[in-house]
Chains A and B, each alone.
Chain A
Amino acid sequence: MGNGRVAVIGVGFYGFRPSTPEVSFQGMMFESSHRAYAEADVDPRKDIDVFVDCQEDMWEGIAITDEFAPEPIGGALRPTFTVSGDGLLGVAHAYMLIRSGLANVVAVESHGKPSEIKTLQDIYYFAMDPLHIRPLSTGNPFFIAGLDAQAYMSRTGARREHLAMVAVKNRNNGLRNDRAPYSSRISLDEVLSSPYAVYPMTRYEMAGFSDASVTVVLASEDVAKKFTDKVVWLDGVGYSTEVGSGSIEWHQWGRMPSMRNAALMAYKLAGLSDPQKDVSFAEVEDRFSFMELLSAEELMLSPEGEAHKMLEAGEFDFDGRLPLNPSGGSLAMGVSLEATGLARFLEAVLQLRGEAGAHQLKEARRAVVASWRGVPTYTSAVAVLSSDVEG
């Protein structure tokens, strides 16, 4: 207990479909948790010390939505709490809980059921600063991503084609992944010839929404081996907030200092000095195509302003030197609101265990996982994962 390493001993999921009318959100939470606990061989009533749930009121349509957290994940009358943020922030709490010595085993659940939200656009509207931004009635909230994309392109010289190439790569990667409802065999021409949705991106370059719940079980080094042999190590976590939600007037356009800060923190904890060399693959934020390139830069997986050149050279391809989003990313798997970060985490864990099936990479020993909470926030979280298994 205490200062040892932190292990991922179980993962479970339910959903990853545009709609899941057969279950309630509690049903999804139960399914994913049940699977994760079964895989880790833990009894939630006895073995799990703390339960962390990641959700946000307005997405759920319930005020004080954390009331509903304990039962479906087995946390009733146990230490259970909610982080209103992306699932990867819950992983950061689990990391601290274990490192502080308070807990040996922690479960983290996150879910999103966008198919049940009739007024998604209005909820984004409510995330804007009520004094400065909301009165502008900007309509489509994704204009923020469009502005960022343009700033990024003008800073780095990346062209529209590069953004489109990310969409082509990820949606094609998704064809190998069972959990990727938005994957498709598309060509660069198809992307480029389709109309803009939010300039400079087309619909192909913006991720759709999918319902999902993901649960992960983390444990201290001392007890991890007691439960399972399939251990993946969580070597470091980092998270950071750049500007307050809706305060987009202060944002550094075309950059993500929050992701850079989060990466620096996670790499320091993981002892990762040369991410470009030491990382086998990464599951990064790509809900807008340009975000994958920007993420690669801020995560220091590519030199400053060079991500589009690495993409062009095929280095981020499935069989490239540093595959980005071999799962297909959010562009293929969809955005599951607060579960998006855990979806990336799940894919990385499966790769590191050699259990990714048709999209298994040849070499998967160390992974970087990164997430962003989406417009209009600038909060990012990063995790570094590794496996002892020789890839």
Chain B
Amino acid sequence: MVSNLFVKDRVAIVGAGITTFMRRALETPRELAWEAARQALDQAGLTLRDIDCVVIGSAPDTFDGVHMKGEYLADGSGALNKPMTRVYVGGGTGVFVPVSAWWHAASGLCRTVLAVAEEKMSPAHPHPQYVFRYIWDPIIHRPLEPNLIWIFAMEMRRYMAKCGAKKEDIALVSVKNKRNALDNPAAQVAANITVDDVLKSELLVWPVNELDISPVTDGAAALVITNENTARQVTDSPVWIDGIGFTLDNQHWENRELAFPRYLNYAARMAYRMAGIERPWKEIDVAEPYDPFDYKELHHIEGLMLARPCEAWKLLKEGYFERDGELPTSPSGGLLGVGNPIAAAGLMKVAELFWQLRYEAGKRQVKKPVHKAVANAWGDLMQAGTVIVLSN
């Protein structure tokens, strides 16, 4: 019986694209998706005709104001008359899109996959936080009218208490990432700021100030992902997907140890095992940890085992994670600097690593030679972890 349509082999990224991250983009969500997809195709030297399958990622439906958003974005994502699915793990979706594209290609079902993530948050009225009112358990939590920033404040507070980090130590992440973003043409909130600026910005929910948080953003990102044969045909410098990992913790966040991201640690172990990485803190050259809040980058550096638990903030102070440091993190500027169109932000991080590993990141290129890189994203009720390990 004929089964495998194509040969099963390694999977590579051969092209990437992102739109400018901004607020109140005039483009429709479909147009944003196409802008990113077009760039990715152009970089790969392919056209839509070469694409076998499409994977779409987008966080809640409600931001774009449409139901069945996967189908809605199909037009702009080049998915028409092709196998298309939308995959979804809340904020973790951005990194999950290439994770899912991996098995589209590795299974032999598709030779070339277009992975597109889009989010347009600004049309939510009066504020995207109103969409987040509907993410809670409708019986137990929603009547308390919680706000997302509350639970993040709890997590940040717990990290500070457990690890002995001060607000000024954590604010350094915001300072670093916003500065890194100055070199990123897609960035929304790049700036040269100081720790003092962060501490003096508006207090939202203690200990979270305005500059601890990534902004409301519209944007899209896309990758072209192929099997090994196709990758070798279309480029001399494919970036390989060595490992993928994903985990969903239970929905009851109130029972968790909030100081350590267990969901991410499990996913990272899965990805490292697949990539054959035993000592990530030594083997990883550059990382894009998910940083919608500044404490979250530290949290995720620890979850990814790039630093011991509670040590990331100390290394940060020593300049370890700077672009010219030992282990550069968020050289793109991250969500804090580039912006946070939820699913697109995660995919932007993978795109950045693709460019870093091809030495195409321009002014953002990290100083040291790079061979292996890791990105992660996080979502749902502080429970989703998605990880991808890349190499050149």
| 8 A-B pairs with C-beta separation under 8 A | A64-B59, A66-B380, A84-B70, A96-B103, A99-B8, A102-B244, A261-B83, A378-B71
Q: Bound complex: CA of A319 vs CA of B325, how far in Å?
A: 74
Q: Is the CB of A63 within 8 A of B60?
A: yes
Residues of the A chain whose Cβ atoms lie less than 8 Å from the Cβ of B135: 62-64, 67
Interface residues of A in 60-97 (CB under 8 A from B): 61-64, 66-71, 75-85, 89, 92-93, 95-97
Kindly specify which of A15-23, A123-131, A198-206, A285-293 makes contact with the partner chain: A123-131
Partner of A245, one of B68, B102, B107: B68
Q: Is the CB of A257 within 8 A of B83?
A: no
Q: Which of B75, B104, B245, B248 has the most CB of A within 10 A?
A: B248
Q: Is the CB of A3 within 8 A of B4?
A: yes
B112 near A: Cβ within 8 Å? Answer: no
Q: Bound complex: CA of A247 vs CA of B267, how far in Å?
A: 38
Q: Is the CB of A257 within 8 A of B67?
A: no
B323 near A: Cβ within 8 Å? Answer: no
Q: Is the CB of A97 within 8 A of B82?
A: no
A391 near B: Cβ within 8 Å? Answer: no
B206 near A: Cβ within 8 Å? Answer: no
**Chain B 62-99 per-residue mask, 1 if CB under 8 angstroms from chain A, else 0:** 10011111111111100111111111111000001000
Residues of the B chain whose Cβ atoms lie less than 8 Å from the Cβ of A76: 248-250
Q: Bound complex: CA of A102 vs CA of B80, how far in Å?
A: 28
Q: Which of B72, B263, B381 has the most CB of A within 10 A?
A: B72
Q: Is the CB of A239 within 8 A of B83?
A: yes
Contacts A61-B138, A243-B80: A100 and B66 contacting too (C-beta < 8 A)?
Answer: no
Residues of the B chain whose Cβ atoms lie less than 8 Å from the Cβ of A100: 8, 102-103, 106-108
Q: Is the CB of A56 within 8 A of B61?
A: yes
B174 near A: Cβ within 8 Å? Answer: no
Q: Bound complex: CA of A156 vs CA of B83, how far in Å?
A: 28
Given contacts A76-B248, A102-B244, A377-B68, 15 further A-B contacts (CB under 8 A): A61-B134, A63-B134, A80-B247, A81-B248, A82-B89, A92-B85, A97-B103, A101-B106, A127-B66, A127-B68, A127-B72, A130-B65, A241-B71, A246-B71, A271-B3
Please classify how large the interface on chain B is, using the bins under 10, 10 to 19, 20 to 34, 35 or more: 35 or more
Q: Is the CB of B131 within 8 A of A63?
A: yes
List the 8 closest pairs (A to B, CB-CB), nearest first: A245-B71, A244-B75, A100-B106, A99-B107, A96-B107, A80-B248, A127-B67, A76-B250
Q: How far is the CB of A134 from chain B (nearest CB, A)?
A: 9
Q: How far is the CB of A266 from chain B (nearest CB, A)?
A: 10
Residues of the A chain whose Cβ atoms lie less than 8 Å from the Cβ of B96: 81
Residues of the A chain whose Cβ atoms lie less than 8 Å from the Cβ of B84: 239-241, 379
Q: Bound complex: CA of A271 vs CA of B5, how far in Å?
A: 11
Residues of the A chain whose Cβ atoms lie less than 8 Å from the Cβ of B272: none
Residues of the A chain whose Cβ atoms lie less than 8 Å from the Cβ of B28: 131
A305 near B: Cβ within 8 Å? Answer: no
Q: Is the CB of A77 within 8 A of B251?
A: no
Q: Is the CB of B68 within 8 A of A373?
A: yes
A-B contacts, CB under 8 A, total: 220
Q: How far is the CB of A14 from chain B (nearest CB, A)?
A: 20
The chain B residue with its CB closest to the CB of A98 is B107
Q: Which of B2, B137, B244 has the most CB of A within 10 A?
A: B2
The chain B residue with its CB closest to the CB of A270 is B1
Q: Bound complex: CA of A70 vs CA of B380, how far in Å?
A: 11
Residues of the A chain whose Cβ atoms lie less than 8 Å from the Cβ of B80: 241-244
Q: How far is the CB of A60 from chain B (nearest CB, A)?
A: 9
Partner of B81, one of A71, A238, A240: A240
The chain A residue with its CB closest to the CB of B90 is A64
Q: Is the CB of B2 within 8 A of A258?
A: no
A159 near B: Cβ within 8 Å? Answer: no
Contacts A66-B90, A67-B135, A77-B262: A102 and B106 contacting too (C-beta < 8 A)?
Answer: yes
B46 near A: Cβ within 8 Å? Answer: no
Residues of the B chain whose Cβ atoms lie less than 8 Å from the Cβ of A98: 107
Interface residues of A in 192-235 (CB under 8 A from B): 235
Residues of the A chain whose Cβ atoms lie less than 8 Å from the Cβ of B247: 77-80
Q: How far is the CB of A211 from chain B (nearest CB, A)?
A: 16
Contacts A58-B61, A100-B107, A257-B81: A269 and B5 contacting too (C-beta < 8 A)?
Answer: yes
Residues of the B chain whose Cβ atoms lie less than 8 Å from the Cβ of A66: 88-90, 248, 380, 384
Contacts A64-B380, A99-B107: A241 and B251 contacting too (C-beta < 8 A)?
Answer: no
Q: Is the CB of B85 within 8 A of A69?
A: no
Q: How far is the CB of B288 from chain A (nearest CB, A)?
A: 20
Q: How far is the CB of B196 from chain A (nearest CB, A)?
A: 35
Q: Is the CB of B88 within 8 A of A71?
A: no
Q: Is the CB of B71 within 8 A of A373?
A: yes
Q: Is the CB of B67 within 8 A of A58?
A: yes
Q: How far is the CB of B243 from chain A (nearest CB, A)?
A: 11
Q: Which of A83, A245, A247 has the most CB of B within 10 A?
A: A245
The chain A residue with its CB closest to the CB of B105 is A100
Partner of A56, one of B68, B138, B263: B68
A45 near B: Cβ within 8 Å? Answer: no
B246 near A: Cβ within 8 Å? Answer: yes
Q: Bound complex: CA of A79 vs CA of B248, how far in Å?
A: 6
A314 near B: Cβ within 8 Å? Answer: no
**Chain B 242-267 per-residue mask, 1 if CB under 8 angstroms from chain A, else 0:** 00111111111000000000110011
Residues of the B chain whose Cβ atoms lie less than 8 Å from the Cβ of A241: 71, 74, 79-84
The chain B residue with its CB closest to the CB of A68 is B251
**Chain A 300-321 per-residue mask, 1 if CB under 8 angstroms from chain B, else 0:** 0000000000000000000000
Contacts A63-B131, A66-B380, A243-B80: A268 and B87 contacting too (C-beta < 8 A)?
Answer: no
Interface residues of B in 113-156 (CB under 8 A from A): 131-135, 137-138
Q: Is the CB of A235 within 8 A of B1?
A: yes
Q: Bound complex: CA of A80 vs CA of B379, how far in Å?
A: 13
Q: How far is the CB of A204 from chain B (nearest CB, A)?
A: 27
Partner of A70, one of B65, B79, B251: B251
The chain A residue with its CB closest to the CB of B72 is A245
Contacts A68-B251, A126-B67, A246-B72: A271 and B87 contacting too (C-beta < 8 A)?
Answer: no
The chain B residue with its CB closest to the CB of A102 is B103
The chain B residue with its CB closest to the CB of A5 is B3
Q: Is the CB of A269 within 8 A of B3?
A: yes
Q: Bound complex: CA of A265 vs CA of B70, how far in Å?
A: 21
